[in-house]
Amino acid sequence: MPKSSPNLNPPAPVAQQLPAPVFEDKKHLIKIFQGDCLDILAALPENTFDLIFADPPYFLSNNGITCHAGRMVSVNKGKWDVSRGAGANHEFNRAWLAACQRVLKPNGSIWVSGTSHVIHSVGFAMQQLDFKLLNDISWVKPNPPPNLSCRYFTHTTETIIWAQ
Ligand SMILES: C[S@@+](CC[C@H](N)C(=O)[O-])C[C@H]1O[C@@H](n2cnc3c(N)ncnc32)[C@H](O)[C@@H]1O
């Protein structure tokens, strides 16, 4: 009996009604929609975009502290940034990347920025979805927050993955 490989990719999104844009500039053909990206992307036609830029959650809101403008502040940004565990975080990355893949034109490309906490999951999800990885771009931050624990190096870079 031939072995069939299991389909590990997320199900295709179900089309929804696109909400009214929260901002529109008709002259420059710009529209901003606010909502869950999975809902918004599902409401857009496939093969639409030449380029997508995404800065997804880093899942760093863990009740820790960081330094902002010289002051010690909470790292908590909101529920959306709370880790649901490595497996669930990765499934989220796969789901929104698959939704982006559907709306990208065949010759379109995607840029995704992230720290080391999330970018490896993004890269792996792209490989699982058969994106072609074009480049890793290092975004060097001249003024990164200091590492208050002094037990490892400061996070002076983010990686941007450029893929097709
Ligand atoms: C790393 S932050 C990006 C911040 C952005 N670069 C900026 O300068 O404002 C991640 C963003 O993703 C948004 N987000 C999280 N989950 C989302 C979802 N399911 N759909 C749409 N946006 C989401 C958060 O509200 C947050 O603004």
* pLDDT for res 66: 83
Q: How far apart are CA 49 and CA 53, in angstroms?
A: 11
Q: If you ran DSSP here, which 8-state letter would residue 152 be given?
A: S
Cβ(36) – ligand 1 distance below 6 Å: yes
CA 81 – ligand 1 centroid, Å: 8
CA 141 – ligand 1 centroid, Å: 20
Q: Where are the alpha helices (DSSP H) in the chain?
A: 37-42, 86-103, 116-128
Amino acid, single-letter form, for residue 158: E
Beta strand extents in 8-117 (DSSP E only) = 23-25, 30-32, 49-54, 65-68, 71-74, 104-114
- Closest by Cα among 17, 46, 49, 48 to 33: 17
In a 3-state reduction of DSSP, which class is residue 50? strand
Cβ(136) – ligand 1 distance below 6 Å: no
Contact between 7 and 128 under an 8 Å Cβ cutoff? The reply is: no
* pLDDT for res 2: 47
CA 56 – ligand 1 centroid, Å: 6
Cβ(55) – ligand 1 distance below 6 Å: yes
Cβ(77) – ligand 1 distance below 6 Å: no
* pLDDT for res 32: 97
Contact between 110 and 104 under an 8 Å Cβ cutoff? The reply is: yes
Cβ(53) – ligand 1 distance below 6 Å: no
What is the model's pTM? 0.89
Residue 111: burial class (beta carbons within 10 Å; 0-12, 13-18, 19+): middle
Question: Per-10-residue mean pLDDT for the chain, 164 residues long?
Answer: 56 78 97 96 96 96 83 88 95 98 97 96 98 97 86 93 98
Instruction: Please tell me the residue having the least CA distance from ligand 1 atom 1.
Output: 57
Ordered domains of the chain (ranges, CATH): 46-163 (3.40.50.150)
User: Which neighbouring-strand residues pair with 139?
Assistant: 158
CA 83 – ligand 1 centroid, Å: 14
